[in-house]
Amino acid sequence: MPSIPLHLSPAERDPQTSPNPLPGLLHTPSGLAILEIQGVIHADTAPIAGDSNIPTQTPIGELVFPLYDATAPADNTAWMKRVYLYVGRHQRMTGEVRKLVKPYGVVRRRQGTVDGAEELEVVEVVLFKVVFSSRPEPVGDAEMG
């Protein structure tokens, strides 16, 4: 049976001191989270100029935690009760952060293996999901985070 070595990430990442390589949309005050949306997000897609093999990013919106207080104790979970996802300029979805029943591991290919063998490393463990279960509500430009 084939096997691939799996390693832990060399350093514990602190979201306050190190940049997160993932889009800011997936980064919460507690680390990474999964987005759970009931429905479809319609976004404008721009044609890709040049090489079609280059991955593109499609901006969805802005994720805002209105109750988050950086000075609050780490065990304070009040910020999890309300989350806004602003989609475009005129829609806001309201949701909440929930703890996952079973955590997910984020794994990536390890860079710089000497013998060319494939190796993986655990980048982070996802403990939360952001759930948006209601319909988007209309908002004006002044209300955006």
In a domain, 50, yes or no: no
- Per the domain annotation, does 53 fall within a domain? no
In a domain, 49, yes or no: no
> How far apart, in whole angstroms, are the C-alpha atoms of residue 52 and residue 59?
18
Residue 140 lies inside a defined structural domain of this protein: no
- Does residue 82 lie within any of the structural domains? yes
> Which residues 6+ apart lie within 8 Å of 47 measured at CB?
none
β pairing state of 6-8 and 27-28: unpaired
Q: Are residues 6 and 121 in contact, defined by beta-carbon separation less than 8 angstroms?
A: yes
Asked if residue 48 is part of any domain, the answer here is no
Count CB-CB contacts under 10 A for residue 105. Answer: 11
Query: CB-side exposure of 139: number of CA atoms within 13 Å?
Result: 18
Whether 28 maps to a domain, the answer reads yes
Give buried/exposed letters for 113-127 (b at 16+ CB in 10 A, else e). Answer: eeeeeeeebebbebb
Q: Exposed, middle or buried: residue 91 (CB in 10 Å: 0-12, 13-18, 19+)?
A: middle
* Amino acid code (one letter) for 134: S
Domain that holds residue 119: 1-14+21-40+59-70+77-134
| Domain presence at residue 96 | yes
User: Structurally, how many domains does the chain consist of?
Assistant: 1
Q: Over its length of 145 residues, how does the chain's per-residue pLDDT go in tens digits?
A: 667 777 777 655 444 444 444 444 456 676 778 888 877 776 655 555 665 666 566 677 888 888 888 888 878 888 889 999 888 778 889 999 898 899 888 888 877 666 777 788 888 888 888 899 888 888 876 565 5
Entry pTM: 0.66
